[in-house]
Amino acid sequence: MEIGDLQKRPFIIGVAPCTGLGFVDMDLFLPMEIRFGRFITDNWYIVAELTYGISLAHETVYLEPSIRVGYNFGRKNSGKEK
Protein backbone atom coordinates (compact mmCIF):
# COMPACT_ATOMS: atom_id res chain seq x y z
CA MET A 1 0.00 0.00 0.00
CA GLU A 2 1.26 3.48 -0.79
CA ILE A 3 0.47 6.27 1.66
CA GLY A 4 0.77 9.93 0.75
CA ASP A 5 0.74 11.99 -2.41
CA LEU A 6 1.73 9.76 -5.34
CA GLN A 7 3.51 12.71 -6.98
CA LYS A 8 5.70 13.36 -3.89
CA ARG A 9 7.45 10.04 -3.07
CA PRO A 10 4.86 8.18 -0.96
CA PHE A 11 5.56 5.79 1.90
CA ILE A 12 5.15 2.04 1.37
CA ILE A 13 3.55 -0.17 4.04
CA GLY A 14 2.74 -3.85 3.69
CA VAL A 15 1.64 -6.83 5.78
CA ALA A 16 1.71 -10.24 4.15
CA PRO A 17 0.65 -13.31 6.14
CA CYS A 18 1.69 -16.79 4.94
CA THR A 19 3.59 -15.57 1.84
CA GLY A 20 5.27 -18.78 0.88
CA LEU A 21 6.25 -22.04 2.49
CA GLY A 22 9.45 -23.33 4.00
CA PHE A 23 10.51 -26.83 4.98
CA VAL A 24 13.29 -27.78 7.42
CA ASP A 25 13.59 -31.45 8.44
CA MET A 26 10.01 -32.13 7.32
CA ASP A 27 8.71 -29.20 9.41
CA LEU A 28 6.49 -26.67 7.60
CA PHE A 29 7.05 -22.94 8.17
CA LEU A 30 4.52 -20.19 7.46
CA PRO A 31 6.10 -16.72 7.39
CA MET A 32 4.55 -13.35 8.29
CA GLU A 33 6.11 -10.29 6.62
CA ILE A 34 5.90 -6.62 7.57
CA ARG A 35 7.34 -4.02 5.19
CA PHE A 36 8.00 -0.29 5.59
CA GLY A 37 9.58 1.83 2.89
CA ARG A 38 9.61 4.96 0.80
CA PHE A 39 10.08 5.96 -2.80
CA ILE A 40 13.48 7.58 -3.36
CA THR A 41 12.68 8.88 -6.85
CA ASP A 42 9.65 8.49 -9.11
CA ASN A 43 10.45 4.80 -9.69
CA TRP A 44 13.17 3.68 -7.23
CA TYR A 45 12.21 2.67 -3.71
CA ILE A 46 13.79 1.18 -0.58
CA VAL A 47 11.97 -1.15 1.83
CA ALA A 48 12.91 -2.53 5.25
CA GLU A 49 11.33 -5.94 5.76
CA LEU A 50 10.92 -8.11 8.84
CA THR A 51 9.90 -11.75 8.36
CA TYR A 52 8.74 -13.84 11.31
CA GLY A 53 8.34 -17.57 10.73
CA ILE A 54 6.68 -20.13 12.97
CA SER A 55 6.81 -23.87 12.37
CA LEU A 56 3.54 -25.75 12.48
CA ALA A 57 5.13 -28.30 14.83
CA HIS A 58 5.99 -25.42 17.24
CA GLU A 59 9.64 -26.49 17.30
CA THR A 60 11.36 -23.55 15.64
CA VAL A 61 10.85 -19.80 15.25
CA TYR A 62 12.95 -17.51 13.06
CA LEU A 63 13.27 -13.76 12.59
CA GLU A 64 14.73 -12.45 9.32
CA PRO A 65 15.38 -8.71 8.78
CA SER A 66 16.25 -7.42 5.31
CA ILE A 67 16.56 -4.25 3.24
CA ARG A 68 15.43 -4.23 -0.38
CA VAL A 69 15.94 -1.74 -3.16
CA GLY A 70 13.51 -1.93 -6.06
CA TYR A 71 12.28 -0.31 -9.24
CA ASN A 72 8.60 0.30 -10.02
CA PHE A 73 7.87 -0.56 -13.67
CA GLY A 74 4.20 0.44 -13.33
CA ARG A 75 2.57 3.13 -15.40
CA LYS A 76 2.35 6.49 -13.68
CA ASN A 77 -0.62 8.75 -14.33
CA SER A 78 0.71 12.12 -15.52
CA GLY A 79 -2.66 13.85 -15.29
CA LYS A 80 -2.77 14.47 -19.08
CA GLU A 81 -5.00 11.49 -19.86
CA LYS A 82 -8.73 11.84 -20.24
Question: pLDDT, tens digit, for every residue of 8-64?
Answer: 778 888 888 877 777 777 788 888 899 999 988 888 999 999 988 888 888 878 888
Q: Which residues contact 44 (CB under 8 A, 6 or more apart)?
A: 69, 70, 71, 72
Residue 25 β-bridge partners: none
Please say whether the beta carbons of 21 and 9 come within 8 A: no
Please say whether the beta carbons of 66 and 53 come within 8 A: no
> Can you give the pLDDT at residue 79?
61
Q: Residue 81 pLDDT more than 60? A: no
Per-position DSSP letters for 37-55, written without gaps between them = EEESSSSEEEEEEEEEEEE
Q: Using a cut of 0.95, tell me whether the model's pTM lies above it.
A: no
Q: Residue 80 pLDDT more than 70? A: no
